[in-house]
Amino acid sequence: SLIQRLGYLIDLLAIPVSTAFRNNLLASTGKNICYLGQPSRWGKGGEFQQSWNIVDNIPHDMLLAEIEAN
């Protein structure tokens, strides 16, 4: 699930990585669905991102707050 989160965040933040690196990350993701944030804190709702098999359950304003503040 760490690889799923990393890949999703790379895509979300449009961080430039090589196609080979991104494809290696995608190949390393399992078939299990994971949540970006802890469901006990952020809930189980959110947008499902099929390419990474991840549920983005953290509000984007909270997720990007540190980046946008700088």
Give the pLDDT means over successive 10-residue stretches in the chain (70 positions).
96 97 95 96 96 96 80
CA atoms within 13 A on the CB side of 45: 1
pLDDT given at position 3: 96
How many domains is the chain built from?
1
Its domain, for residue 38, covers: 2-69
Question: For residue 10, how far is the Cα from the chain centroid?
Answer: 8
Tokens 């959110």, residue?
46
b/e code 12-39 from CB counts within 10 Å (16+ = b): eeeeeeeeeeeeebeeebeeeebbbbee
pLDDT given at position 67: 80
